[in-house]
Amino acid sequence: MLIKQAPEYRWSQITPKDVYLNRRRFFTTAAGGLLLAATDARAAKIDNVQKGALSTTGEKLTSQGDATSYNNYYEFGTSKADPARNAHRLKTANWKVSVEGACAKPKTYDLDSLMKLAPQEERVYRHRCVEAWSMVIPWRGIMLADVLKRAEPAPGAKFVEFTTLYDPTRMPGQRSDVLRWPYREGLRLDEAMHPLTMLATGVYGRDLPNQNGAPLRLVTPWKYGFKGIKSIVRIRLTDRQPETAWNDSAPNEYGFYCNVNPTVDHPRWSQAKERRIGEFLRRPTLMFNGYADQVASLYTGMDLRKNY
Amino acid sequence: MQMPAWWNTVREFKRPWWWKWVVWIAILAPGLLTIAGFLSDVLRDTRWLGSNPVKEGEQILGQLTIKYLVATLAVTPLRRLLGWNWLARDRRTFGLTAFFYALTHFLWYVLLDIQLDGAELVVDLTKRTYIIVGFAALLVMVPLALTSTRKSIIRLKKKWTVLHQWTYLVPILGVIHWWMSVKADIEEPIVFSLTFAVLLGWRLWYARRETSQHAATPSATSAAP
């Protein structure tokens, strides 16, 4: 049939959160005591997360069903529904992420030790996709700055490069060459150190679902969503501007900065307005996605038309 | 060459009485279901078309246009291949269906996607190549749809045949439009481009074969079954 099967009810409506969590506990019990302890420790932390001071207020949250079923994550397929369908193949146990490159103290972390570097916060952020749709998402995580400071960046370090896991068996989308894998992203060091920049491990009060970038993703709310690289395995400090996946794929459409900017159109569509998922009428897009007060100073004197 | 017996059964297959119902359902159901799903999503907060029903519906209608162009262009090769001459009268139906889906796709874009933003429409139609190409495809279809009546065929005679050769341009513009509108997921545009290449290539091959056969043995073709 020509119409895609769209469930009338959302997961969140069918499965109450406590049942979902109990199911998870059941599986981990079966998997063994050590794993159980680790998962429980992280699950328990969810309740202790503090609301971040930089959390965006006055916005209605996007429904969890939409945020976990309408995703761009080409590692699991190119359609919006593919990631929720295919991402279960990614097993994220024993995840390691290395912080390396131009720094005094490179280190490989497991997730728990990484998340202990700073108090975890919940922060609501607007999320603007380059495709002119948007959401409002409650993330949970820590500031990237707290991780980078620990590594003690070298004086020459000017940029940070992020790399997604490369594993075509667990990420079937990587078998097709829609992009050059693995997915790579980059930030200027001052952008990476900005207090709005987060490394997230959770969303909607629980661990990230795989389709949202589990177990660890970047969140930069003033930039288009594709900047928020998912399933990160490497964070590398460097003196050179890193290559990024979409810039590599279509340099005339995607630059290095990717700041949300209603006055600079994508070659194929206007960026002046956006469609908030769950709403019918479009709304105007805000400069830097509404975070201009916090981030505009990072770009003083820069021609944002050229540095898109 | 000796053909197996079942081949004759296939060739002798006649238009069944229920065929027109199949056609009616096939051309109407996808569009009506799309619109119904969209209305339900917007008014009742369901998710038949997913989380972004405006975009999804727009894409479905564009793809339906392409699919009905395939059906339109498949009629003549199927007639020649299977001997199903009774398919001839469905060609216009499929062509008009493609036109109406293209028109709905365009109106959907104007009314629901850019929501009557005149400035955006002007920029899109003058600066964005894929929209210009898609709009050109729609414009080419307008005179074809207007002259699709039996009356026009009789009135225009030879000119009708020449005019309706513009049909071949539409799928080419259509897949270029689609191809240019996607980010990197070009799989489906490729599949449909190849389909059109086969359907249009078959016509070239068939026309050349006809002329060469006529030139070589003018009497042989008339004797062929």
In angstroms, how far is CA A116 from the centroid of its own chain? 19
Judge if the upstream peptide bond of residue A138 is cis by omega within 30 degrees of 0: no
pLDDT in tens, B21-73: 999 999 999 999 999 999 999 999 999 999 999 999 999 999 999 999 999 99
Dihedral angle, C-alpha A168, A170, A176, A181, nearest 10 °: -60
Give the mean pLDDT of chain B: 93
Average confidence (pLDDT) over B170-174: 98
Contact across the interface for B56 and A4, Cβ inside 8 Å:
yes
How close B42 gets to chain A, by Cα (Å)? 7
A55: number of Cβ within 10 Å: 15
Q: Assess contact for B43 and B168: CB atoms under 8 A.
A: no
Percentage with pLDDT > 70 across chain B: 95
pLDDT in tens, A106-135: 999 999 999 999 999 999 999 999 999 999
Q: Is residue B150 scored above 60 in pLDDT? A: yes
B176: number of Cβ within 10 Å: 18
Give the mean pLDDT of chain A: 89
Q: Assess contact for A274 and A261: CB atoms under 8 A.
A: no
Cα(A288)–Cα(A261) distance, rounded to whole angstroms?
6
Q: What local confidence, expressed as pLDDT, does residue A5 receive?
A: 58
Percentage with pLDDT > 90 across chain A: 82
Nearest to A10 among B34, B47, B60 (CB): B47
Pairwise pLDDT comparison (A247 vs B187), residue with the higher score: A247
Q: What is the DSSP letter of A266?
A: B
Q: What local confidence, expressed as pLDDT, does residue B50 receive?
A: 96
Nearest to A4 among B50, B120, B130 (CB): B50
* Per-residue tokens: A221: 């709310």
Q: What local confidence, expressed as pLDDT, does residue A27 receive?
A: 46
Nearest to B181 among A176, A249, A268 (CB): A268
Q: Is B33 on the interface with A (CB under 8 A)?
A: yes
Q: Is B16 on the interface with A (CB under 8 A)?
A: no
The ipTM of this complex is: 0.86
Q: Assess contact for A13 and A65: CB atoms under 8 A.
A: yes
Residues of B in contact with A81 (CB under 8 A): 50
DSSP string, chain B: -PPPHHHHHHHT----TTHHHHHHHHHHHHHHHHHHHHHHHHHH---TT-S-HHHHHHHHHHHHHHHHHHHHHHHHHHHHHH--GGGHHHHHHHHHHHHHHHHHHHHHIIIIISTT-HHHHHHHHHH-HHHHHHHHHHHHHHHHHHT-SHHHHHHHTHHHHHHGGGGGHHHHHHHHHHHHHSSS--HHHHHHHHHHHHHHHHHHHHHHHHHHHHHH-HHHHHH--
Residues of B in contact with A74 (CB under 8 A): 184-185
Nearest to B120 among A79, A270, A278 (CB): A270
Residue ranges and CATH numbers for the domains of chain A are: 49-299 (3.90.420.10)
Sketch the domain layout of chain B as residue ranges: 58-215
Q: Is the dihedral of CA B120, B123, B125, B128 positive or negative?
A: negative
Q: Is B54 on the interface with A (CB under 8 A)?
A: yes
Contact across the interface for A270 and B123, Cβ inside 8 Å:
yes
For chain A, which residues score pLDDT lower than 70?
1-48
How close B190 gets to chain A, by Cα (Å)? 13
Contact across the interface for B51 and A69, Cβ inside 8 Å:
yes
Q: Is residue B222 scored above 60 in pLDDT? A: no
Q: What local confidence, expressed as pLDDT, does residue B5 receive?
A: 86
User: pTM of the entire structure?
Assistant: 0.85
Residues of B in contact with A276 (CB under 8 A): none
pLDDT in tens, B105-149: 999 999 999 999 999 999 999 999 999 999 999 999 999 999 999
What chain B residue is nearest to A270 in terms of C-alpha separation? B120
Q: Assess contact for A57 and A124: CB atoms under 8 A.
A: yes
Lowest mean pLDDT among B32-36, B210-214, B219-223: B219-223
Q: What local confidence, expressed as pLDDT, does residue A3 receive?
A: 56
* Per-residue tokens: A119: 């108090």
Q: What local confidence, expressed as pLDDT, does residue B182 receive?
A: 87
How close A154 gets to chain B, by Cα (Å)? 37
Cα(B26)–Cα(B36) distance, rounded to whole angstroms?
16
- CA max distance for chain A: 59
Q: How far from B182 is each of B188, B189, B190, CA to CA, in Å?
A: 10, 9, 12
Q: Residues of chain A whose C-beta is under 8 A from some C-beta in B?
A: 1-4, 6-8, 10, 65-66, 69-70, 74, 78-81, 131, 133, 176, 178-179, 249-250, 265, 267-270, 272-273, 275, 277-278, 280-282
